[in-house]
Every structure is written in structure tokens, then in C-alpha cells.
Structure 1
Amino acid sequence: MYAHIRGSVLWVEDDAVVISANGLGLRIRTLPAVLSSVTEGASLELYLHHIVREDSEALVGFPTRDQARLFATLLDVSGVGPKVAIALLATHGPDLLRRALVDGDESLIAKAPGVGKRLAARIIVELGDRMSREASAEDEVGAKGDADRDLQGALRSLGFPAREAKEMAGAVSANAALATAPLADRLRAALKERA
């Protein structure tokens, strides 16, 4: 539902920032580095992940799409919630975290607050091979791959599981008429295909 916001900072909280956009103030959890670098009235742009639970909804925002995508990937791991995923990104950053997953560096991953050795091992088991494949594929990916990843990220932010988002993006990419279409058109096509 929500993928991106650009607006002015109304105020900063301990773990979130409230951004005003078109007269609406949204509370968005974000990385400590973002919180420490913004001030009230400053302009801020974040890529969002919308979390819907049975009893609550929350927005989590990141300065780059890459961080937002990796956050969504981390949430696929059993036992990793938003707080732990933010801690992993805040402690290691996306590049070092991916490298640790590919290398199976359990002790490095366990340095993040809330991540013990057992959870670090589970994260490596569930994401290590996937990160290796992604790293290999990135060398061969052109604009089409970027468009697919953007569409998958948008679908993931709407709550679709990673595998389903990948299948939906693949179906849209197979349609030559949509191959170079804007993301909004590709997203509409994917959702229409799903309905």
C-alpha cells in the first residue's frame, strides 16, 4: 500500500520520525542513523515497508530502496521481526550484512542487538544461498532485472510473500508490452493478474 514518502519532519521520536506529506502526518520507524541526522522542519525521503499485523499497522522507512528490500527479505526468516531486522541493518549496513550471509559469518551477524547465535544460524541457513544467488545474478542483470526487483519490492511492501512476488513479477515481465512500462503500470498488471 505504501512504498515511498517525501515530506517535512514534524518531530523525531526515540525510534521513529513523523513526516508531514500533503497534510497527513505519518509515524515511520527507521534506522538510528536517520533519526540522529534529521531535524524538525527538514525535508526527508524514505522508502517504506508497510507491516500489517492482526492488531496493529506500522510503517518502516529507509533512505534507500536497497535497504527497504533487504529489510523485507529479513522478515521472511522465522523469528525475525521488524525490531531485529532494523537492528541488523543498523549494525551492519546492507553490504556487510549480505557479505556475512554469503560467507556464513554467524558471529558477525550475532553482534546485532536481539540476535543470538541460534537466530544468526537460522538467518544464514534461510538466506545465505539466496544472497549468493542474488550476488551472482547481479553481475548479469540489466535494466530488466532492476525493473523486476522494483516490482517485487512493491509487491512485497503490499504483503505478498517473496516467492509469490517473484512469480507475479515474472508473469508481468513475460508480457512484452509491459517490459518497459512504468512501475505503476506493471504493479497494476501484476495485481490484476492475481485477482
Structure 2
Amino acid sequence: MIASVRGPVRHVGLDNVVIEVGGVGLLVHTTPATASECRTGGEATLETTLVVREESLTLYGFTTADAKALFEQVQTVSGVGPRLALAMLSVYPPDAVRAAIAQSDLAALTKIPGIGKKSAERLVLELKDKILAVGVDPASLSVQPAGASDDAVGAQVRAALEGLGWSAKQAADAVKKVTGSPEAPTEVSAILRAALRELGR
């Protein structure tokens, strides 16, 4: 198991980064917010989980051990794989996912692309008691979308949103809405986070 990686950042994509470790470039899949915090040429440290499949080895990275733990926990639920787990953390921070589950907030959970009512109910059924068992007070948690988020720029953001599961029309509408004012953000990461908030309404 590769539990963490640290090294120079060789490439930053919208939802992945390449980090050089011992002369080997490792492709690490992340949330758009995590990728936006990395800078090409700078150094990054990510907590990681290696997902082994018959045909692939895929590395997922997180800025905190908490996000990594939740990523692994939600995959214990039938029907939830790494892509869906990553989509959850792209829309909401870890505490907000826990809050939605602990409060049986199906409306919040179904705002995550790929999660319908049945999947949301299954998440609550299988994880609510486990989350409450570790002393989490659901009243102290808030279900808020993940933090604030850039026309090659618009195209990149739309592609990232579609990769997370929204339709082309939903992605285009969200980008149009968040970039339609003079005060609108101009960076890819800022537009992306704003679009995720808009889609999470």
C-alpha cells in the first residue's frame, strides 16, 4: 500500500497531479480543489490510497488524512467505488459528507453526481451508526459545499464537471452563471469551485 507521496509536482491537471518520487512520476487522482492547491515545480505531500484492480493500479490523493479516511469508509457501502467516493469529496468537504449521512439528509447526498435516492438511502443505512459511534455530533456539522473555485478556461472547467458526472448542459449552465458578472473569478480552480457550489444548490 502506498500511504503517502511527497515530491516535486511535474504536472497539474484539473483532477489529477503527477508527483515525482524517487525519479518516478506517479499519477495521483484528486479532487479539483486539491489539484488547484498544487503548483508545477513546487513540492506536494498527499495522503494516498492505492486502488488495485485486475487491469489497473490507481492512486488517489488527499491533502488530509481525514479526507482519505472518509474516501475509504464510503467505499465499504455496496455500489460505491473510488470515482463516486472522489465525487463526494469534490462536492463536499469530509465533515459535510458526514453531516449529510448523520442527519439522513438525502437531498444533500443526491446533489452528488452519481448518487440517486436509493444510493443515498444505502449510505445512510450503512454508515450513519458508524459515524455517530465515533462521537460525531450531527448538530455540530454543517452540510456546505466544498470551498470557493477558471474560455480555454471555461472549456477546462466544463470538462472537469462532466468528468465528475454532470451533463454537458448542466456544466455549461453552471460555468455561464458563475462567470457572468464583472466580479466573477478568472482562475480555473476558482471558477470550478464556484460552479460546484452552484450545482450543489
Q: Same fold (TM over 0.5)?
A: yes
Structure 2-normalised TM-score?
0.65
Matched position secondary structure for 1:135: coil
Structure 1 residue 8 and structure 2 residue 12: aligned?
no
Q: How does 1:80-95 map to 2 (within 5 A)?
A: 80-95=80-95
CA contact (8 A) 2:47 2:68 kept: yes
Aligned twin of 1:133 = 133
Moved more, 108-117 or 58-67: 108-117
* Secondary structure in 1 matching 2:11: strand
The amino acid that maps onto 1:25 is G
Could you tell me how far 1:39 is from its partner in structure 2? Answer: 2.1
Deviation >6 Å, runs of 4+: none
Give 1:12's aligned amino acid. V
Deviation at 1:135, TM superposition (A): 2.5
Whole-angstrom distance in 2 between the partners of 1:46 and 1:135: 27
Pairing 1:1-195 to 2, within 5 Å after superposition: 1-135=1-135
Distance 1:136 1:29 in 2: 28
Aligned pair count? Answer: 137
2:134 alignment partner, SS class: helix
Amino acid of the structure 2 residue aligned with 1:70: L
Tell me if the contact between 2:14 and 2:36 (Cα under 8 Å) persists in the aligned partners: no
CA distance in 2, matches of 1:125, 1:31: 26
Query: Which 5+ residue runs of structure 1 have no aligned equivalent?
Result: 138-195
Cα-to-partner distance string for 1:1-29 (whole Å, 9 max, x where unaligned): 10011111101234211001221110000
Determine what percentage of the aligned residue pairs are the same residue: 39
Give 1:136 shift.
5.0
Q: Distance in 2 between matches of 1:11 and 1:98?
A: 32
Amino acid at match of 1:73: Q
Q: CA RMSD in A?
A: 1.4
Rounded to whole Å, the distance in 2 between the matches of 1:80 and 1:59 is 17
